[in-house]
Amino acid sequence: MARNLVLAATALCGGILLAPPAGTAQTAIDALGVTVTTTPAVTTDYLFRGLSQTRGKPAVQLTVDAEHSSGLYVGAFVSNVAFQGTNARQEVDYSAGYRFTLGDLKLDIGGTYYTYAGYTAPRGGFELNFAELALRTSYEIAPVKFVGLAAWSPNFYGESGSGFYLEGGFDMALDYGFTISPRIGYQWIERNLVPATGSRDGYFGSPDYLTLSVGISREIVGGVIGTFTGVWNSNTGRQDCFGGQKVCDSRAVLTLSRPF
């Protein structure tokens, strides 16, 4: 999409890092029964489902999550972006949902609205903003936590029609404070490539694709968490990637974050 030509993670926090942080930090507001987690981060490349949202350049990000003791939550995510052929320079996502447990299974049902501040659709172009519903699950059998994600959008990025994403993986604690986080995901899009002449439908810019990643994370010092992630996508062929862009290429990413 340069999202006509890229897509970009993270759903809230989703949207965000491919590997989860090795630790958490939170601020409780006891009188309201609310816990707020704020996570600033810097990364060498902002990836969303394996695709670069900054065309291989660094990003500065902030995630805020406020959860009530009932399980209801709201949140936001902000990052710089760079999509070829657009004036979008910033992504601002808004999320809300409900977290609960069924026995030892943790579930999160929520929605995210992805917006691109400052973007103006060109004449004959399409909107980038889109909404998505998601179900996240986790189940822990120490020292392994299994995680899953299913997300659906009625009108995906670039007005490309229905989009569905499915992901699974696990986080496993290793010696010396390291955590390894493999993930495998697949993105389906209703309208992938440039439609027939005269069509008024938007499109994504890439075929449906598989994305694989492995992240290694560890607290470095003072609560700062370092995450190194390697990513491979099945749409790495230049002809299959948003008109010949490099945003689908396999790559390695380093992220530093500090939850508060």
pLDDT tens-digit profile of 204-239?
999 999 999 999 999 999 999 999 999 999 987 778
Give residue 215's domain range: 11-257
In-domain check, residue 83: yes
For position 178, what pLDDT does the model report?
Answer: 98
Which has more pLDDT, 251 or 118?
251
| Token pair of 36 as six digits | 């707020």
Instruction: Give residue-wise pLDDT tens across range 26-71.
Output: 777 878 999 999 999 999 999 999 999 999 999 999 999 999 999 9
Give 138-164 pLDDT, tens digit per residue. Answer: 999 999 999 999 999 999 999 999 999
Asked whether residue 3 is domain-assigned, the answer is no
CATH code (residue 113): 2.40.160.40
Report the number of distinct structural domains present in the chain. Answer: 1
Indicate whether 238 belongs to any domain.
Answer: yes
Q: In this predicted structure, what is the pLDDT of residue 5?
A: 36
At residue 16, does pLDDT exceed 80?
A: no
- Domain membership flag for residue 199: yes
Whole-model pTM?
A: 0.88
Residue 73 resides in a domain: yes
4 assigned to some structural domain? no
Look at residue 39 and tell me if it is in a domain: yes
Look at residue 201 in the predicted model and tell me its pLDDT: 86
The pLDDT of residue 123 = 81
**40 part of a folded domain:** yes
